Structure 1
Amino acid sequence: MDWDDLRIFLGVARAESLSGAGRRLGMDASTMGRRVARLEHAIGATLFLKTPQGYTLTEEGARLIPHAEAAEQAAAAAAEATGREAGVAGQLRIGAPDGCANYLLPQVARSLCDAYPGLEVQIVALPRVFNLSKREADMAIGVSPPETGRIVVQRLVDYHLHLAAHRDYLDRSPPLTSREDLRHHRLIGYIPDMIFDRELDYLAETGVEAAAISSNSVSVQMQAIRAGAGLGIVHDFAIPFTPGVVPVLTDEISLTRSFWLLRHADDRASRRMTLLAESLAQAIRREVQRLEAKVAVQT
């Protein structure tokens, strides 16, 4: 059985489509389909059912998954042992909520690429939890640790959030000296039914029941605040990127949350992935501390 065919099988199983797997592996969908068919012929079993939603594993396909993943780990270990991954080259796909992806990971990616010139960093910014079992990402950053799954979890860093507004908004709005004054102001926040993690339910901290302007994207919320549309709870590390936006009511409304690094359990055996995980963790800690220090000076 050809390992490369198993690699393609895993790609299709994780992406649940030929085109999605092809984009990840750098092949066209027709080639992916031929390789899957070749593997099915070699083992004498149908591995996928094609449905309107995509490719679904059959029972035979599901039974092949752990063996294919074992071969994947063995291939990675062999590559490391023979030095083909010297210099930590290749692709690293990082999944993260959009606040982290927009305001932290670009600088972190620069740091990683400076340290490892052969590295290709891909940042996937999505307001949801990533499925590492399907290899949607090599590593993911979460705002809370998962309760299930074969995942290695590492606490990265605490970060802070405060109510903030643009100076233009504050200059033309009623006075804001206490939490009670918020009833006279327009709030910006998350769409309630699109909050994918309870740690992101910030609005309850203000005592205001509903936001006048809402989005599932941190970046959209911040741009609305920057435009002077209202007040919102934002990451301190995002404030340096938005001139004119300042924290308010810092003594009354202050939140602390944590970022967690999530990795597939099988990756613990990979020297490359362990090295990249530690480098990523260190870079994120440094960047949060650097940006929050700028906000501390303002306040």
Structure 2
Amino acid sequence: MDWDDLRVFLAVARAESLSRAGKVLRRDAATVGRRVAKLEGDLGQPLFTKSPQGYALTEAGSRLLSHAERAEQAVLSGADELTGQSGQLSGQVRIGATDGCASYILPQVCTAIQKEHPELELQIVALPRVINLSKREADMAITVSPPQAGRITVQKVTDYHLHLAAAREYLDRAPPLTSLDDLHAHPIVGYIQDMIFYPELDFLTGMGIEKVALASNLVSVQLGMVRQGGGIGVTHDFILPFAPNLRRVLTDEVSVTRSFYLIRHEGDARVERFTRVAEELTRGIRDEVARLEAMA
């Protein structure tokens, strides 16, 4: 069994599809299928159960998965050791994040990191749901809700703050707004309730607000609605510098604090590229949140 066989196996195990694995490997699905069949023949047992829904690991496949992941980490670690003698990082690192962090924090932070390491390729994956590290949707992720299970490490990065905000033009023509009770006379902008994947993002339930006039699963879309005078929404303080026509309201009655966490594969601590990017990413996010919040 060679490393290339394991690479194919890992890609299919994570993608649960020959075609999706082929895209990752840059090979056609038929070639990937032949490699899987050959590996199964060499081992004398099936590694996947095939169905119209895709490829699912058998018990033997599940046992091989942990060994294949350790081999992958050893290869990555060895490559980093050979190429990292100059102190410069190279290779690809994919970072998953909630859309608020991905849109308003990571562009500045990742650009600064890449300028320091020109051979480094940083990719930002913005998803309005939980990033699946076990399927290598990302090498590391910034989340607002630390996972409680899995072979991962969790590190708190920083707190951030949110307040109610509205467009100044909206407030000039809107009904009075002096207390939480007054919110019922205003249209509210927020998340689509059944598409909130993190309980930490369910801001409005605690305020007793059940009806949302304008909703989206994306922070950037909610911000656009508020900026257009669509109503009042819970807005990140670090986003306010990007929306100068917004003004915070009811700050004495509503102030929300949440946290960003960095999650990583447990075994990636041995890969210098991932470890150093994680260190610079953590420091950069902490500094950028503080800088933007000070401008709010």
Output aligned runs, 1:57-72, within 5 Å: 57-72=57-72
The residue aligned with 2:15 is: 15
Does the CA contact (< 8 Å) of 2:241 and 2:295 recur in 1?
yes
Matches of 2:123 and 2:83, distance apart in 1: 23
Output aligned runs, 1:29-44, within 5 Å: 29-44=29-44
SS, match of residue 133 in structure 1: coil
Shift of 1:204: 2.7
The residue aligned with 1:249 is: 250
Is 1:232 matched with 2:218? no
Output aligned runs, 1:191-270, within 5 Å: 191-270=192-271
Does the CA contact (< 8 Å) of 2:40 and 2:47 recur in 1?
yes
Identity rate of aligned residues, in percent?
60
The residue aligned with 1:3 is: 3
Aligned pairs, how many?
295
Q: For each residue in 1:200-242, what CA deviation from the matched residue of structure 2 results, as whole angstroms up to 9, or x when unmatched?
A: 1110343322211112111111111011100000111111112
The residue aligned with 1:271 is: 272
Matches of 2:26 and 2:171, distance apart in 1: 51
The residue aligned with 1:143 is: 144
The residue aligned with 2:75 is: 75
Does the CA contact (< 8 Å) of 2:83 and 2:90 recur in 1?
no
Aligned Cα RMSD in Å? 1.6
The residue aligned with 2:124 is: 123
Matches of 1:85 and 1:41, distance apart in 2: 41
Is 1:186 matched with 2:187? yes
Unmatched segments (≥5 aa) in structure 2: none
Q: Structure 1 246/24 Cα, relative in aligned 2: closer, same or farther at 3 Å?
A: farther
The residue aligned with 2:49 is: 49
Tell me the TM-score normalized by structure 2: 0.94
Shift of 1:84: 6.3
SS, match of residue 82 in structure 1: helix
SS, match of residue 49 in structure 1: strand
Shift of 1:73: 1.8
The residue aligned with 1:161 is: 162
Does the CA contact (< 8 Å) of 1:15 and 1:136 recur in 2?
no
Tell me the TM-score normalized by structure 1: 0.93
Shift of 1:293: 1.0
Q: Structure 1 9/53 Cα, relative in aligned 2: closer, same or farther at 3 Å?
A: same
Shift of 1:28: 3.3
Matches of 2:65 and 2:199, distance apart in 1: 32
